[in-house]
Amino acid sequence: MSAPVWNNKVVKWVDDRLPVFTMLHHSAYEYPTPKNLSYMWNFGSLAGFVLVTMILTGIFLVMNYTPHADMAFWSVERIMRDVNYGWLIRYIHMNGASMFFICVYIHIFRGLYYGSYKAPREVLWWIGILILLAMMATAFMGYVLPWGQMSFWGATVITNLFSAFPIIGDPLVTWLWGGFSVDNPTLNRFFSLHYLMPFVILGLVVLHVWALHSVRSNNPTGVEIKTPQDAIPFHPYYTIKDLFGMGVFLIFFMFFVFFAPDFFGEPDNYIPANPLVTPPHIVPEWYFLPFYAILRSIDFTVFGIPAKLLGVLAMFASIIVLFVIPWLDTSKVRSSKFRPVYKWFFLILFIDCFVLGYCGKKAPDDYFMGIEGLKVIVVGQLATLYYFAHFLVVMPIVGKLERPKPLPTSISESVLKEGANA
pLDDT at 244 over 70: yes
373: burial class by Cβ within 10 Å (0-12, 13-18, 19+)?
A: exposed
Indicate the pLDDT class of residue 27, thresholds 50, 70 and 90. Answer: confident
pTM value is 0.95
Q: How confident is the model at residue 98 (pLDDT cuts 50, 70, 90)?
A: very high
| Upstream peptide bond of 220 is cis (omega within 30 degrees of 0) | no
pLDDT tens by residue, 173-232: 999 999 999 999 999 999 999 999 999 999 999 999 999 999 999 999 999 999 999 999
Q: Is residue 353 scored above 90 in pLDDT?
A: yes
SS3 state at 291: helix
C-alpha pair distances (Å), 53 with each of 99, 245, 287: 11, 16, 19
Active-site pick, 45, 163, 217, 297 = 217
- φ, ψ (nearest 5 deg) of residue 332: -85, -5
Catalytic residue among 12, 68, 235, 241: 241
pLDDT: is 422 or 413 the higher one? 413
**Residue among 149, 138, 147 nearest 79 (CA):** 147
pLDDT tens for each residue of 276-325: 999 988 999 999 999 999 999 999 999 889 999 999 999 999 999 999 99
Nearest to 114 by CA among 36, 207, 209, 46: 36
Radius of gyration of the CA atoms of the chain, in A: 24
pLDDT (0 to 100) of residue 422: 60
Instruction: Give the end-to-end CA distance of the chain in Å, rounded to a whole number.
Output: 36
Give the pLDDT band of residue 1 (cuts 50, 70, 90): low
Give the SS3 label for residue 273.
Answer: coil
Give per-residue pLDDT as tens, 280-289.
889 999 999 9
For residue 330, pLDDT beyond 70: yes
Confidence of residue 414 (pLDDT cuts 50, 70, 90): confident
Judge whether 412 counts as a catalytic residue. Answer: no
Angle formed at CA 13 by CA 8 and CA 17, multiple of 5 degrees = 140
pLDDT digits (tens, 9 = 90+) for 359-372: 999 999 999 998 88
Which domains are present in the chain?
Answer: 29-420 (1.20.810.10)
pLDDT at 373: 87
Task: Let me know the angle formed at the C-alpha of 405 by 403 and 410, rounded to the nearest 5 degrees.
Answer: 135
- The reported pLDDT for the residue numbered 420 is 65
Q: For the segment 377-393, what is each residue's pLDDT rounded down to a tens digit? A: 999 999 999 999 999 99
Helix, strand, or coil (residue 32): strand
Share of the chain above pLDDT 70, in %: 99
Please give the full DSSP string across 5-27, using - where no structure is assigned. PP-SHHHHHHHHHSTHHHHHIII
What is the pLDDT at residue 71? 97
82 is annotated as an active-site residue: no
Would you state the pLDDT for residue 25? Answer: 86
The DSSP annotation for 334-397 comes to --GGG-TTHHHHHHHHHHHHHHHHHHHHS-TTSBGGG-TT-BHHHHHHHHHHHHHHIIIIIHHH
Q: Judge whether residue 29 has pLDDT over 90.
A: no
Of the candidates 285, 329, 336, 412, the residue annotated as catalytic is: 285
pLDDT confidence band for 31 (50 / 70 / 90): confident
Is 241 annotated in the active site? yes
30 as an active site residue: the answer is no
The pLDDT-based confidence of 141 (bands split at 50, 70, 90) is very high
Per the residue annotation, which of 15, 230, 242, 268 is the catalytic one?
242
Span 52-73, pLDDT tens digits: 999 999 999 999 999 999 999 9
Collapsed DSSP state (helix, strand, coil) of residue 34: strand
pLDDT value of residue 24: 86
Arithmetic mean of pLDDT, 131-143: 97
* 402 given a catalytic annotation: no
pLDDT at res. 419: 63
Name the active-site residue from 26, 213, 235, 361.
213
